Chain A
C-alpha cells in the first residue's frame, strides 16, 4: 500500500523538496542567462543540471539521474568550462540596440507565452499520477532500453547523424587552412630585432613578494606598469588589475621629501597614468630609466 502510494501521489517530503530545489534550479537558470561572465553562466548551468538530476532521482529514474550527473554535469559542462577558459573571450558584448523597440517586443512576447504556460498548466489539476509503476515494472534500465532500441531506435540513430552533422558543420565553419609556412623560432627572433620593438622576452606578470596573480602587471623601475607582462586576452577584457598607484605615490612622496630636505623647490613630478594601450616603446623607455 505504501509503495502504491509512493508511485501514485506526491508525498509532503517530495513536495518540500520540489519547491526548495525548483527555486534553486530556476535561480540557476536565470543566472545562466543574466551573468556577465561566461564562466559564471556555465557554473550556474551546471548547478541547474545537478538539481535536475536530483529531480530525476527522486522520481525514480535512477539511471537517468546518474547519467545526467556523469555525462552532462561531469563531462560536457566541465569540457565546456575548459573550452571557455582556454579560448578566452576577447570581445565584450555590445549593449547597443540595433533593432528599435526590440526589447519591449521580446518582453511582451515572452510574458505572453509565460502567461499562457502558467494558465495552461494551472488549468490542469493532477492530484494523482499513474504509469510510473508500470514503466518501471521490469526495471528502470530495461524499460529505457526497450524504448530506445525499439520504438525510438530510428530517432536514436538520427541523433548519431546529428553528431556527425555537428562535427562536419563545426569544421566547415571554423577550420582554416594554413596557406603560409609557419615561422621558425629563428625567423621570429630576427623579426623582433628588425622591428626593434621588444627584443627581449616579455616580462613576467606579478609584483615580487606582494602580488603574484596573472592579472597584475609587473612594475617598471619608476613604479609605472609594464602592460606587456599581462596576457593579451586579459588586457582586451579590461581585467588587468593595476597596483602601480601606491608605489608611484610612495616614490613621489620620497622624492618630495628629499627635495625639501635639500632645500630645493622643484615642480612635483607628474605621475604617469598607464595608457589605454601601452606601446612597447614607452615600456622599454621606462625600463631604461
Chain B
C-alpha cells in the first residue's frame, strides 16, 4: 500500500490555495473591517504563487501522486493554470467591487472563492472516484454560500436552487461511484480501465450515468442546468463570473478524464449519450438566450450553450488525437472571454438590462470595445481564442466520425450570433438617453486608458462610496481579459502544441 509517489510537493498549487484560504481566514479574524482587503491581497498572492507553481509543474514530467489517485499531466496542469488564472481575475473583480468592499463579510468571500477553486482543481486532477466525489463537494459547498452571499431575496433563491439541485445530483454522483466500484472492483481509474470492459454493461452504464450527472451539474450542462440562470442573475456579479467559469473547467476536465480513462473501452453508449447531452445543451441554451433581456441571465444561458460545445471533445474522447488539445484550448479561451464579459457587467453595476447599455460606445469607448471583443469572442469570431477553440472542437468531432455533431454545433454557433448582436447593437449604435447611468462621473477617465495605474492598488480601485454606477476597478480585468482573448487566438498554434501530451496513469 505504500506507494512511492507520496510527495506533497506534487500538489504545491493546490496546497498553496488551501493554505492561503486558511491563512486568509485567520488574518481576517484579527483585521479591522476597513483593512479586510489585506485578506483579499493574500488570496491574490496565493493564486499568483499557485500559478507559478503550476507553470513549473507543467514543464516537469507527467506523473501521479498519492498512490495514483491524483494525476499530474497536461490536463491537470492546464486545468490548474486556467482555474488559478480565472480565480485571480474573479478575486480582482471582487477586490474592486464597491459593494463587497463595504460588506462586513469581505474576508469570508475571498476564503470561499479560494476553497471553491481548490475543489475545481481537484475535479480536474482526480484520478480516483472517491477523490472526484470529494472534489465535487469542495467545489459545490463554498459556491452555495457564495451564491447567497448578498443575503437578499434573489440571492437566497439562487443559493437554495443551487443547493437543492447540487444535493440531488451529488447523491446521483455517489450512487454512480458506488455502482462503478461494484462493477470495476476499485475506484482508481487505471484499475477501472482494466476491469470495466469485462464488467456487466448495465452496471457500467448505470454507474457512468450517475457520474455524468455530477459532472453535468458542475459544468451546467442541460438536464442539470436549471440552477444556473437563477444563480447567476440572483447573486453578485463577481460570483456570477466565478460560477460560470471556474467550476466548469474542473468539471469538464473531470468528464474528459473519465471518458478517456475508465469509460474509454466500454462501448459506444458514452459518446452517444454525451453527444445528445451536448446537442441539447447548446440548442436549449441558445433558444433560451434569444428572449433574455437581463444581461446576466443572457450570459448564463450563453454559458449553457458554450458547455454544449465544450462537451464535444468529452464525447469523442479517445477516438481522435485532437480531443485533448481542443478541449483544453477551448476551456482556456472560454474562461478568459467569459470573464472579460462579466468584468464589463461588474464595471456597470446599475446596468442590468440590455437597454441600459445603450450608448456605451460614446460614453466609455474603451469599455465598449472590451465588451464587443468579448461578445464577438464568445460567438467565435476569427482572431479570438474561442474561434480557434471551436475550430479545434469541430475538427475533433469530424475526425472521430461525428459529422452530424459538428454540423449541429456549427449551426448553433451561427444562431448564437443573434443574441450577442442584440447586446452589441445598442452598445455600439445607440445614444444614451438623458439621465442614463452612463453619464460621465469621476470614474470616466479611469475607463479611458490609464486604468493600470489607477487600480494597481486595490484600495485605489475601490471607489467604495462615491459613484455607484461605474465600478472603475473592474476595467482592470475587462481590458486584459479582452486582450488575452485575442492574444490567445493569435498565438493559438504554439499553445495548442503545448497542450498535447499523454494522460497520466
Would A162 and B141 be within 8 Å (CB), given that A120-B206, A152-B69 are in contact? yes
- Residues of B8-41 whose CB lies within 8 A of A: 11, 18, 21-22, 25
Q: Residues 113-152 of chain A: 1 if any B CB is under 8 Å from the residue's CB, otherwise 0? A: 1001101111110000001000000000000001100111
Would A120 and B131 be within 8 Å (CB), given that A158-B122, A171-B108, A173-B151 are in contact? no
Q: How far is the CB of A125 from chain B (nearest CB, A)?
A: 8
- Check if B474 is an interface residue, CB within 8 A of chain A: no
Would A151 and B69 be within 8 Å (CB), given that A161-B115, A169-B145, A172-B105 are in contact? yes
Q: Residues 165-193 of chain A: 1 if any B CB is under 8 Å from the residue's CB, otherwise 0? A: 11011011100010000000000000000
Neighbouring B residues of A116 by C-beta, 8 Å: 202, 205-206, 209
* Inter-chain contact A150/B118, CB cutoff 8 Å: no
Neighbouring A residues of B104 by C-beta, 8 Å: 177
Would A152 and B149 be within 8 Å (CB), given that A161-B21, A161-B118, A173-B159 are in contact? no
Q: How far is the CB of B53 from chain A (nearest CB, A)?
A: 16
CA distance A166 to B131 in the complex (A): 19
CA distance A165 to B17 in the complex (A): 14
Neighbouring A residues of B199 by C-beta, 8 Å: 124
* Inter-chain contact A123/B179, CB cutoff 8 Å: no
Q: How far is the CB of B89 from chain A (nearest CB, A)?
A: 22
Checking A113, A147, A150, A162 against B138 with a beta-carbon cut-off of 8 angstroms, the contacting residue is A162
- Check if B301 is an interface residue, CB within 8 A of chain A: no
Please report the total number of A residues contacting B with Cβ < 8 Å. Answer: 32
Q: How far is the CB of A160 from chain B (nearest CB, A)?
A: 9
Neighbouring B residues of A122 by C-beta, 8 Å: 202
CA distance A246 to B46 in the complex (A): 73
Neighbouring A residues of B201 by C-beta, 8 Å: 123
- Check if B185 is an interface residue, CB within 8 A of chain A: yes
Which residue of chain B has its CB nearest to the CB of A122?
A: B202
Checking B108, B159, B183 against A124 with a beta-carbon cut-off of 8 angstroms, the contacting residue is B183
Which residue of chain A has its CB nearest to the CB of B8?
A: A154
* Inter-chain contact A166/B115, CB cutoff 8 Å: no
Neighbouring A residues of B99 by C-beta, 8 Å: none
Neighbouring A residues of B182 by C-beta, 8 Å: 121, 124
CA distance A152 to B70 in the complex (A): 10
* Inter-chain contact A117/B141, CB cutoff 8 Å: no
* Inter-chain contact A123/B203, CB cutoff 8 Å: yes
* Inter-chain contact B145/A155, CB cutoff 8 Å: no
- Check if B398 is an interface residue, CB within 8 A of chain A: no
- Check if A24 is an interface residue, CB within 8 A of chain B: no
CA distance A123 to B203 in the complex (A): 7
Would A169 and B183 be within 8 Å (CB), given that A158-B118, A164-B25 are in contact? no
- Check if B45 is an interface residue, CB within 8 A of chain A: no
- Residues of B127-179 whose CB lies within 8 A of A: 128, 130-131, 134-135, 137-138, 141-142, 144-145, 148-149, 151, 159, 172, 175, 179
Neighbouring B residues of A113 by C-beta, 8 Å: 172, 209
Neighbouring A residues of B108 by C-beta, 8 Å: 168, 171-172
* Inter-chain contact A159/B2, CB cutoff 8 Å: no
* Inter-chain contact A173/B69, CB cutoff 8 Å: no
Would A158 and B138 be within 8 Å (CB), given that A168-B108, A168-B112 are in contact? yes
Which residue of chain A has its CB nearest to the CB of B142?
A: A165
* Inter-chain contact A158/B142, CB cutoff 8 Å: no
Q: Residues 209-223 of chain A: 1 if any B CB is under 8 Å from the residue's CB, otherwise 0? A: 000000000000000
Neighbouring B residues of A131 by C-beta, 8 Å: 185
Interface of A, secondary structure class, is: helix
- Check if B200 is an interface residue, CB within 8 A of chain A: yes
Checking B11, B119, B148, B207 against A173 with a beta-carbon cut-off of 8 angstroms, the contacting residue is B148
Q: Residues 82-107 of chain B: 1 if any A CB is under 8 Å from the residue's CB, otherwise 0? A: 00000000000000000000001100
* Inter-chain contact B145/A165, CB cutoff 8 Å: yes
Neighbouring B residues of A117 by C-beta, 8 Å: 175, 179, 206
Q: How far is the CB of A201 from chain B (nearest CB, A)?
A: 36
Checking A119, A121, A154, A164 against B131 with a beta-carbon cut-off of 8 angstroms, the contacting residue is A154
CA distance A123 to B128 in the complex (A): 25
- Check if A153 is an interface residue, CB within 8 A of chain B: yes
* Inter-chain contact A154/B135, CB cutoff 8 Å: no
* Inter-chain contact B131/A150, CB cutoff 8 Å: no
CA distance A172 to B183 in the complex (A): 41
CA distance A160 to B463 in the complex (A): 37
* Inter-chain contact B1/A165, CB cutoff 8 Å: no
Which residue of chain B has its CB nearest to the CB of A167?
A: B25
Q: How far is the CB of B223 from chain A (nearest CB, A)?
A: 9
* Inter-chain contact A151/B185, CB cutoff 8 Å: no
* Inter-chain contact B112/A155, CB cutoff 8 Å: no
CA distance A151 to B189 in the complex (A): 13
Neighbouring B residues of A157 by C-beta, 8 Å: 18
CA distance A218 to B21 in the complex (A): 55
* Inter-chain contact A150/B112, CB cutoff 8 Å: no
* Inter-chain contact B145/A152, CB cutoff 8 Å: no
CA distance A122 to B203 in the complex (A): 8
Neighbouring B residues of A123 by C-beta, 8 Å: 200-203
| Residue of A119, A150, A173 most packed against chain B (CB within 10 A) | A173
* Inter-chain contact B141/A166, CB cutoff 8 Å: yes
* Inter-chain contact B130/A165, CB cutoff 8 Å: no
**7 examples of A-B residue contacts, CB within 8 angstroms:** A121-B206, A152-B66, A154-B131, A158-B119, A169-B142, A169-B145, A173-B159
Please give 17 more A-B residue pairs, beta carbons under 8 A apart, in addition to A150-B6, A169-B112, A173-B159.
Answer: A116-B205, A120-B202, A120-B205, A121-B182, A121-B203, A123-B203, A151-B66, A152-B69, A153-B66, A154-B66, A158-B135, A161-B118, A162-B137, A164-B115, A165-B145, A168-B145, A171-B108
